[in-house]
Structure formats: structure tokens, C-alpha cells
Amino acid sequence: MSGQLVRQADYFLAGRPYSILDREPSDWAGDAHDYYSVGNYSWPNPKSADGLPYIRIDGRRNPDAWSDRYDKRRFRQTVAAVNTLVQAHLRTGDARYADAAEERLDRWFLDPATAMRPHFAHAAALPGRHDGAAIGQIEATLLTDLVDHVDLLVEAGRFTERLPLLQDWFAELTHWMRLSELGRQEQQMTNNHGVWWDAQVLRYLQFVDDRTALTKILDRFDIRLRHIAPGGALPKELARPDSLLYTIYCLRAFAVCCRVAAAEGRDLWNAPAEPGFGSLREAFHFWADHAVDDRRWIWPRQPSDLDRTAVWLADEAAAVYRTPSLTALAATLRSQNLPAPEIPSIAAIRRTPTSKE
């Protein structure tokens, strides 16, 4: 794995850092420093000559959403580059990788001339209908991985002088997510979006050390457990065309919440179920019991696009719950030789004891 990591880091080292200003001209007339994207499932309207208004087709991804007319691809590549370069620095000690990671953090988040404004008000646009939706905040979830890697960079004695500026950026983003109309709409979502809202805000509040606000969100975490049906199913995710992918995605958000809570001395992994609902323990075991054999996953699913984050999530849950079914699931996923994720996770270098990768 380390050789592949270094090769990928060298690839990023040879490339130029992106900024929010690199967007190609489009019909959108918004500010160049504002993040702008269309949703993955947004498509031109086949019934109109100009394709407007766009329509949404769940489960069918539009490759144009990743073009340089929008910011999604360059944003994701920036986060992937930072994470990869940080991991390469930790593995090799080569300062060039840390320098390059810091350069990308500065260019995308900190330099006033090139930085993105800290909000996602114009994410998941549906041209002809609106230029941004609450659900667009789901595109920011990868920033939970980014701050994990910034913490590692700081632990290595790097980025310490610039850290307060990045913390200010995330404090502003968190303020927008908590108080804006779009942020409040996303907070009220009752599927993976709602859980990821908690996961993001909790992780960012931890990053900026706002423990008062963090505690308030942890105190109402029982609301999120109401997403879980008796027995552990996640009904809103099972109803999706790619139900397995979204079940795992939602469980990943729960895991982020549990990690933040653990740092505060609170055990959300074993939080009791709300009356009439299921527990998080049951949700992880529902995944294990039904996904260990493809024949048991009877809900809609598309060709697998899982990656190694599923293995690491199963490893983490197995280490927490110590049950045969989760251990078996982790072994099954590992045997599939899943690809590395696009956005590197610190799980690759801080593996749980059950992992043998």
C-alpha cells in the first residue's frame, strides 16, 4: 500500500493546486468565490430545447456534473490531494509532501485571492429551478476526512501557524450550516442527509474546539436514532435504487458522530433505541447479517461501486461490538479486494486491531 500511496502523492505533487476560481465559464452568474455544482442525479430536461428546467433521476449519475463548469471535481481532487500528501509525508518523512499539502490548503481555503467562501448555498443546483439546495451540503461530507488529515499534519509539527485561519474558515461554515435557512432544512432531513449534517457539524465543532455547541448537538442525538427501524433497517436508504451503497454511507455518518462523542467521553455506539425504533448496534448488525451474502440483500441495488471504506467501517464496528457477524462481514469485504477510496481516510494508517490489510 505504501508504494501505491507514494505514487499517488507524486502524481499530486506534479500537478498544480486548484482553486475555486478555476471554474470554466457557465450560465451561472454567481460570485466566482462561491462553490457551485449541480447534483449527481440532475439531468437536462429532454422535453425542452434548452434542457431547462433540469430534472432529477435518482440513481442515474450525470457525468456532466463533474465537468469543470462546476466545482465538484476540483473540490474533491483538492481534498484527495491534501489527504494523500499528508499520508505520504507521515510514511516517508519527505517535507515536499507536507509543503504541497499546505499549499493546497492555502489556495482553496485561506488565500483571500483564491479561497472558497465557507458555505454550500449553491451546491446541488437544478438549473431552471434553483441555483442551490439544502441537499447540496452532502457534497461537503468529505471535509470530515480533510480535518482528520489536518490534525495529523499539525501533530507532525506542520501547518501550526496557519491552523487558526483554517479553524476560522470551518467556524464560519459551521455557523452557516447551523443558522442559514438551507442549513436548517438539511438539519431536519430524516435520511442520511440528516445524519451527515450532525456528523459534519460535530466534527467541525470538534476541530474548532467549540465544545459548548458540540455538547448541545450530542444531547439531542436520539433524534438521529429515529432513522433506524426496529431490527436495524434504515428504511429511507433501503428505498434508494442503490440501497446498499446508501446504507453504508449512512452508517459511516453515524460512525463519525460516535468518534466525536467518544472523544467527549460519551458512548453513542451503544445508545439505547428510542421507543418504537431500532438501535445503532442493530443497524450495524442488520448490515452485517444481510450484506455478508449478496443473495440476502433483497433491496434495490446497482452494480457495486463500494470501496475500501466499507472494509474499514466493518472493522471499526467489529472492534466496537465484538460479534461474529461483523467480523465475518469485514472478512468478506476484505476478500473482495475493493479499490482504495477516491478520498483517502486515516483508517488506512490507523487501522483497527481487527484489520489485516
Residues 226 and 334 in one domain: yes
Asked if residue 2 has pLDDT above 80, the reply is no
**How much is the mean pLDDT over the chain?**
94
Residues 228 and 134 in one domain: no
Asked if residue 356 has pLDDT above 50, the reply is no
For 338-347, write each residue's pLDDT tens digit: 999 999 999 9
Q: Which amino acid is at 217?
A: I
Query: Between 323 and 302, whose confidence is greater?
Result: 323
Domain stop point among 188, 222, 246: 188
* Mean pLDDT, residues 102-117 taken together: 98
Asked if residue 268 has pLDDT above 50, the reply is yes
Residues 156 and 48 in one domain: yes
Query: Does residue 251 contact residue 283 with C-beta atoms inside 8 Å?
Result: yes
Asked if residue 123 has pLDDT above 60, the reply is yes
For 158-179, write each residue's pLDDT tens digit: 999 999 999 999 999 999 999 9
Question: Can you say how many angstroms the Cα of residue 51 is from the centroid of all Cα atoms in its chain?
Answer: 30
CA distances in angstroms from 169 to 120, 157, 160, 331, listed in the order given: 13, 21, 15, 40
Q: Which of 126, 108, 139, 104 is nearest to 33 (CA)?
A: 108
- As a whole-number percent, the residues of the chain with pLDDT over 90 amount to 85
* Mean pLDDT, residues 213-236 taken together: 97
CA 357 – CA 353 distance, rounded (Å): 10
Residues 115 and 153 in one domain: yes
Count of structural domains within the chain: 2
Residues 112 and 249 in one domain: no
Query: Does residue 246 contact residue 292 with C-beta atoms inside 8 Å?
Result: no
Q: What is the pLDDT of residue 322?
A: 98
Residues 172 and 218 in one domain: no
Residues 169 and 237 in one domain: no
63 Cβ contact partners less than 8 Å away, ≥ 6 residues apart = none
Length of the chain: 357
Domain stop point among 188, 206, 241: 188
Range of the domain at 350: 192-357
Q: What is the pLDDT of residue 58?
A: 87
Q: How far apart are the first and last CA of the chain?
A: 9
Q: What is the pLDDT of residue 1?
A: 52
pLDDT bin (cut points 50, 70, 90) of residue 122 is very high
Return the C-alpha cell found at 95: 517535507
Question: Can you say how many angstroms the Cα of residue 175 is from the centroid of all Cα atoms in its chain?
Answer: 19
Residues 245 and 141 in one domain: no
CA distances in angstroms from 189 to 101, 192, 195, 209, listed in the order given: 34, 8, 8, 26
Residues 124 and 80 in one domain: yes
Domain stop point among 129, 163, 188: 188
* Mean pLDDT, residues 244-255 taken together: 97
pLDDT bin (cut points 50, 70, 90) of residue 355 is very low
Q: How would you class 52 by CB atoms within 10 Å of its CB: exposed for 0-12, middle for 13-18, buried for 19 or more? A: middle
Tell me phi and psi for residue 29, to 5 degrees.
Answer: -105, 20
Alpha-carbon dihedral angle through residues 253, 254, 259, 260, given to the nearest 10 degrees: 80
In CATH, what number is assigned to the domain containing residue 199? 1.50.10.100
Residues 311 and 236 in one domain: yes
Instruction: Say what angle helices 309-321 and 280-291 make with each other, to 10 degrees.
Output: 120
For 18-40, write each residue's pLDDT tens digit: 999 999 888 788 999 999 999 88
DSSP 106: I
Is the model's pTM score more than 0.85?
Answer: yes
Residues 320 and 229 in one domain: yes
Asked if residue 150 has pLDDT above 50, the reply is yes
pLDDT bin (cut points 50, 70, 90) of residue 94 is very high
Residues 203 and 179 in one domain: no
Q: Which of 173, 143, 180, 186 is nearest to 34 (CA)?
A: 173
pLDDT bin (cut points 50, 70, 90) of residue 59 is confident
Residue linked to cell 439505547: 272
